[in-house]
Amino acid sequence: MALSTRVWGAGKLLLLGGALVLTYVLFAAAAMRLALRTRDVIVPSLDGRTVNEASASLAQAGLNLKVEEARRIDPKVPAGHILAQDPQAGAHTRRERGVKVWVSAGPRATMVPALVGESPRTAELELRQDGLLLAGVVEFRSAEYAADVVVSQEPPAKTNSAQVALLVNRGERGTSYVMPDLIGVNGDRAADLLRSRGFRVSVVGDHPYPGVPAGIVLRQRPAGGFQVAPGDPISLEVSR
């Protein structure tokens, strides 16, 4: 009886010891997992920031900044600003890890070609072939210059720049009309009449409107009362 009691007591001690060891292992694993999670951080977005701004943002997240020495030419991102990063924004990483960034060298300065006298389409193609950005096109109408040609450019030809703005003459405006109010009329008939006068008309509409028959004009651009000339675009939205 005494022997069996001692055996039973030893068994209980072994079970208790095993339970304690298992509990320790589980707690240790949970603690390690928690520690690893607390070390994980989310990489912030650095696109468009300066190097100093990126460094400060990463420092707040417990990360380090690594700057690629070679800068990349980019027509959209100003020089000195970040255009790419690795890891990407939103990725999870460990604290004290480095985030590599590439910095823009800005747009490439190129010799500007002579574009005065060219058509807008030809001028745009030349700029694209030379890697230059079309900064904008300003249009006007005049009888003093040929129609649909570039009459001025900024900067002028044979100067170094990354972008060019154009001034284009669209020709003297001929006969003009007052845009009628077409709301409530049949869209196809209105479009046929306008096209016969030289207007470029588009009729759009892909869903019905309660109480409105199909094909009736609901909206128009330009609105009634505006001055329009043959060749101008007109958009009619109709019910379907």
Q: What is the pLDDT of residue 21?
A: 62
**Cα R_g (the chain), whole angstroms:** 36
The per-residue pLDDT for 52 is 93
User: What pLDDT score was predicted for residue 1?
Assistant: 47
The tokens 């207007």 sit on which residue? 199
Residues making up the chain, counted from first to last: 240
Topology of domain 110-169, CATH? Trypsin Inhibitor V; Chain A (3.30.10)
Q: Decide if 207 contacts 175 (C-beta within 8 A).
A: no
Query: What are 93's two structure tokens?
Result: 């990483």
Nearest CA-CA partner of 192 in 234, 226, 240: 234
pLDDT exceeds cutoff 60 at 40:
yes
What is the model's pTM?
Answer: 0.37
Number of helices (H) and strands (E) in the chain: give both, helices first: 4, 16
Task: Write down the CATH number for the domain with range 177-238.
Answer: 3.30.10.20
Question: Is there a contact between 87 and 73 (Cβ–Cβ < 8 Å)?
Answer: no
pLDDT in tens, 55-88: 999 999 899 999 998 888 787 888 899 999 999 9
> In the beta sheet, which residues pair with residue 101?
67, 85
pLDDT digit string, tens, across residues 91-110: 988 888 999 999 998 877 78
Question: Any idea which architecture 43-106 has in CATH?
Answer: 2-Layer Sandwich (3.30)
Contact, 101 vs 63, CB < 8 A? no
Share of the chain above pLDDT 70, in %: 83
* Measured distance CA(182)–CA(216) in Å, rounded: 9
Q: pLDDT: is 112 or 35 the higher one?
A: 112
Looking at the predicted structure, is the pLDDT value of residue 200 above 50? yes
